[in-house]
Chains A and B, each alone.
Chain A
Amino acid sequence: MKTNKLIKPILYAFCALLSISSFAQTISAREIMQTVIDRPDGNNRKAKLTMELINKRGSKRLRSVLIYSMDIDKDKKNLMYFLSPADVEGTAFLTWEYDDSNKEDDRWLFLPALNKTRRISGTSAKKDYFMGTDFTYEDMGTRNIDENTYKLLENQTSNDNLWVIESTPTDPRDIYSKLVSYIDKTQLIAHKIEFYDKMGNLMKTLIVTDINKVDGFWIAHKMHMVNHQQNHETILSITDVTYNISINENMFTVSKMEKGIVN
């Protein structure tokens, strides 16, 4: 029994590798991205995100949040508690993200200063920068597969274990003209993403490091986003990651958001 438990994940991983490598012969860019989106990451998960904001003078600010997330079929529910800085501690953000691109996400914001929850726009905030970092709300979430068109590029690196995919947003109002992602074929995680502005100039570069497995799932622990146009950067560290924790859908309610957490 014990042996089976140990061997099973290895067998699965081996089969997955085989299927990916043979799949890669004929796979389209869209199929790769779908595989990346579908990358196994448990039914639910919890993590702490610490963001170090560095401006052009080198001065630093810290932001941290605790995130709970749960998959419900193809939809996703997220609950985010703001831990620091102190003036936003207790603020919480609840989102119900729908896979159906025709359906707007539901979003609520709890402001402890007002002791009140308000529904906020399901679309526009996606383009805003999250807590003053170089990540937009959308950068931190999952984009629907239909929100971009995809093109598989020649591998511009010496690393054959990477796919290079160009994603072009279908919405002309998007702040990016294209994204170029360097995706690891085994981990199904982008090691690097280049973000281009509407003029086609390089706007931001994301470098992803410290990738390892937690509870059997690949996860990147460090993301370094450099905004070339604003001379600003953000180092996002992901810690205290746990998967398949004992929570249910009732965790992702307005009441839970208002209740907050004692950190």
Chain B
Amino acid sequence: MKICLRFLKWKKVLLINKHIYHLLFFGFWFFNSPFYLMAQQEKPKLDFGGFVEGYYAVRSSNPYDFMNTRNRMRGELKMQHNNAYFFTSFNLTHNDAIPDQTGFELREAYFEYSKDNWTATIGRQIIVWGVADALQITDLISPLDFTEFLTRDYDDIRVPANAIKFNYQKPSFRLELVFTPVPAFTIIPHSKDNAWSAFPTSGYPEYDIDLDTKPNKTLKNSEFVIRSSFFLSGIDIGLTALHTWNKTPVFNYTTSQANDTIYVQPNYHKLDVLSTDFSISKGSMVIRGEFAYYFNEIQGVANQEKATTTKNSLNALLGLDWYPGNDWNITTQYYLKSISDYTSDLISKEISNLATIGISKSILNNNLKLSTFAYVDLDYEGFYDRTAVEYSLSDSINLFIGYDWFKGDEGQFSPYKDNSEFWIKAKYYF
């Protein structure tokens, strides 16, 4: 046991050192790069900032236990020399409720070089696009981290990807090319001390979960994206082609001979996506839409030796933002997924529906913000709603209080129906 603990401790130290090593390497490489040397004639600009936060959440039903006790420092370093730019961000976290979150986490570390109309970015970066809010239709390169399900701020949920990105921009047109040598995949919690575990953490039989099996790190398993965007009077249009993977695995379950253990195995499959998105502004409204066709999307199959199959699917989203004035903002979205050539042995439904609604209002000269945002599972009448009050105590301190409400006996929110929680957060920016 002692050896085990010591090993874990060393593993953590080594992990931290690895990240620090990467940072140092980046810095060393950057300052010795030809870009830096070329840019010597101008004074370099350096900016270090970030925040310190405390976040505590307690279950609102029996046993009223702490679901989260997160204390965290986020650091962000920016360096710019003429056309060259370096950015890194990291988290230092201590979390008693979810101990495996304690430690150092490198969020992003990338180098960027811009010239005239183009920019090249290389390194660990969060890549986001599309017009959907809090849902991913074509925005598939940076997947989600479900360690705390959806209760974290959305910027904490995105998983950075190690990628090379090329961006060419004219006033009304943008072309983006992305190459991800080793794709990033959804982070799925499964530790027994995490209330947000995607698998049962107690009871019989036990679960033996393998989440380490991922596609091989080879060139043929890399991701490629080409995206063009048009920014026109009153309308934005985007066209995207992706060669990627299903980022969230489809699991197959097998039981041990003694029936005391369920083995969980993840399955990944390549996925090609063609999509279009748009955003139209009309008066106080903005209408948004995203339509994506998935080719050969992996699907789970029930009661068969072969646990998965592939099907094409249509993914469509329509959204409406309303800005009625007086710092009100109302957004709503409807998302539909339809699987082609549907067979009754598929685990997913042929057509699934989800909606979101968000309302926010700022008062007291923007010092107090009230907001609520809900995901509504229209197929199983379940939902997750986060209602929050944010108060700006000073220019550098924000206080938050809120409630996460889960409801649903079936569907994607049902595993968390007993996880409704009150939470408070204090954030100091430096």
Contact = CB atoms under 8 A, between A and B. Distances in A.
Contacts of B174: 253-255
Contacts, number: 133
A255 B234 contact: no
A131 B394 CA distance: 14
Interface stretch (B59-67, B165-173, B198-206, B216-224): B165-173
Interface in B141-185: 153-155, 158, 167, 169-171, 174
A87 B429 contact: yes
B167 A86 contact: no
B114 A121 contact: no
Interface of A: 53, 55, 61-62, 84-87, 89, 96, 98, 103-104, 106-108, 112-116, 118-125, 127-129, 131-133, 232, 249-250, 252-256, 259, 261-263
A127 to B, nearest CB: 5
Q: Bin chain B's interface residue count.
A: 35 or more
A58 to B, nearest CB: 14
B41 interface: no
Given A86-B396, A87-B427, A104-B282, 4 more contacts: A119-B279, A127-B325, A254-B174, A259-B112
B323 A115 contact: no
A104 B234 contact: yes
Contacts of A55: 365
Nearest to A105: B281
Interface string B322-349: 0111110000000000000000000000
Query: Could you tell me the dominant secondary structure of chain B's interface residues?
Result: strand
Interface string B118-152: 01000000101101000000000000000000000
Contacts of B169: 250, 253-256
A262 B46 contact: yes
A119 B167 contact: no
Nearest to A248: B171
Closest 8 CB pairs of A and B: A86-B429, A132-B366, A132-B365, A124-B284, A255-B169, A262-B80, A85-B395, A121-B323
A259 B119 contact: yes
A41 B45 CA distance: 29
Interface in B38-55: 45-47, 49, 51
B236 A119 contact: yes
B261 to A, nearest CB: 41
Interface string B49-90: 101000000000000000000000000001110000100000
B259 interface: no
B34 interface: no
Contact of B281 (A61, A86, A120): A120
Given A114-B128, A124-B323, A262 B78 contact: yes
Contacts of A104: 234, 281-283
Given A86-B430, A129-B365, A129-B366, A103 B233 contact: yes
A128 B325 contact: yes
Contacts of B128: 114-116
Given A55-B365, A128-B325, A120 B286 contact: yes
